[in-house]
Chain A
Amino acid sequence: MASQSENPVKDKHLLIAVDESDSSRRAVLYVADFLGGFPGFKVSLLSVIPEPEQDFYETEAELKVWVEEKLEKANAMLQNYKTILMQSGFPEDKVRYRACVGDAKSLADAILSIRCDLTCCTVVVGRHHKAKAEEFLFGSTSNRLVHEAKNCAVWVVE
């Protein structure tokens, strides 16, 4: 924050929401290629684990183990993506990451809520190539982001 107050131009803040999919990896690589090495940008990498329903687990302990494993995996993935962004020219202090369990109604809502908290101007996601039937039954996070986002841009990376 100290560096920001010295710098009259505030960094543009991007939120890259990722999961373990290839499309998320493409989204990170796109930002690395597109903005890596340019000043004036900072990135928050985010992995939201959909809140698991207790019904899928026999005990609280089993659920807790599942969540811990997921968070550990997500943090390792985010660290890896942070390295990719740094290798493309982002300074280390301009890349942050966070893994959390989303308790919102949907993943897109959780991402938009965190975007709001972090005051990011742009949300970047990868587009999963779903069959029409799958999108119909289980929805599409990128689609919902595009429709629900307010006061920000959404980049959906193919």
Chain B
Amino acid sequence: MGTESAAYSEKDLLRMIRKWVPRERVPKRVKVKDTADFFRVDYDDVVVLEDVPYFVRNNEREGRFGIDDEQKFWVKRARNLLSGDVKILKWVFRERFEARIGDLVFECVRSPQKEARILELVSGKPAFMQGKTVLDTAGNQLRILDYIKGKTLGQVAPELGSNHEDYFHNHFPALLREFMRLTEAIRFLHDHNEKHGDIRRDHIIRDETTGHYRWIDFDFNYRHGESRFGYDLFGLGNVLLFLTGRGDVTTYRLLREAPEVFERLIEGDVNIVFQNRVNNLKKIYPYIPEKLNRVLMHFALSAPVYYEETQELLDDLGEAI
């Protein structure tokens, strides 16, 4: 059940490549590769999907759990040789593994069909990466994603403002509005019974063309317990904490840089899961409004109740803004 076409000669392809790629980057020869096995598709190859030729560039990389620049061999940047657009080609790569957060271990899966489903669901929605799913020659779901040029939220926030107070008064309000927009987007997924699955600050990219942020990477799923969306909400809480603190405020950092503030912390002030992160940021930055701090404290060790629905978080943020 293939989708390839042999309609392009090598001469045609080289002519098209020359149109979009600097002269020094144009290869002497170009091969059209079968799409069934991503390991056989290399830099400078061409793959044809639904009659469109894509000139393959580098594998994408991802920093995860401290391992920076981990290559994702099944994710390749490519140029659509008809339109010149840069795309991300994501082959099927199934992975079933146990994720670990602190002492907690839970089952996760990387599911191409989940991402394909969500891409269809969020088509045209600006808060999500866009793309479509086609079948490779083996009948697997290969995703063709629009490349989003821009920095991740994790890169943007710490660079804003001259210090925390300047950041908080002059940049944070706009970021908080963006965060609420992003949370609304997650609510949309949840309303359709879908999880994002891997919410973190480097899965949010500021699209340089629009200035707005987009969620990326929807292929993770986790085996949920009673609370289907609890792990997603935890991710949202982490992003909000990062934004409010202009980075992670750790107990280690406080002890080193502001021991007198560290002394004022109590056990319940830290994050319920990452207990080296401080959630009670008002103790460090007193100008943080009480209502906003109260939202952060829903994710703290001392929290008596937790958010179960995205809407609850949105309602509280609406009051805090």
Question: Which of A54, A132, A139, A140 lies in contact with B301, CB distance below 8 A?
Answer: A132
A-B contact count (CB 8 A): 68
Q: Residue among B227, B231, B273 with the most chain A CB within 10 A? A: B227
Q: How far is the CB of B3 from chain A (nearest CB, A)?
A: 21
Bound: A67/B242 CA distance, A: 41
Q: Are A56 and B104 in contact (CB under 8 A)?
A: no
CA distance A93 to B197 in the complex (A): 46
Q: Known contacts being A137-B104, A138-B231, is A55 close to B226, with CB within 8 Å?
A: no
Interface status of A2 (Cβ within 8 A of chain B): no
Give min CB distance, A9 to chain B, whole Å: 36
Confirm or deny: A105 has a beta carbon within 8 angstroms of a beta carbon on chain B.
Answer: yes
Q: How far is the CB of B269 from chain A (nearest CB, A)?
A: 14
Q: List B residues 72-110 near A (Cβ within 8 Å).
A: 94, 96, 101-104, 106-107, 109
Interface residue tally for chain B (C-beta within 8 Å): 29
Residues of chain B within 8 A (CB-CB) of A138 are 106, 224-227, 230-231
- Enumerate chain B residues within 8 angstroms of A143, measured Cβ to Cβ: 226
Contact residues, A49-94 vs B (CB, 8 A): 53-56, 58
* A139 contacts B111, C-beta separation under 8 Å: no
* Interface flag for A34 (CB, 8 Å): no
Q: Which chain A residues border B320 with CB–CB below 8 Å?
A: none
The smallest beta-carbon distance between A148 and chain B, in angstroms, is: 11
Q: A144 in the interface, Cβ–Cβ < 8 Å?
A: yes
Q: How far is the CA of A19 from the CA of B272 in the complex (A)?
A: 27
B271 to chain A, nearest CB (A): 9
Tell which of A53, A54, A131, A140 touches B226, judged by Cβ atoms closer than 8 Å.
Answer: A140
Known pairs A53-B221, A55-B221; A137 contacts B227 (CB<8 A): yes
- Please provide the chain A residues from 101 to 158 with a CB less than 8 Å away from any CB of chain B in the complex: 105-108, 131-141, 143-144
* A interface residues (Cβ-Cβ under 8 A, vs B): 53-56, 58, 105-108, 131-141, 143-144
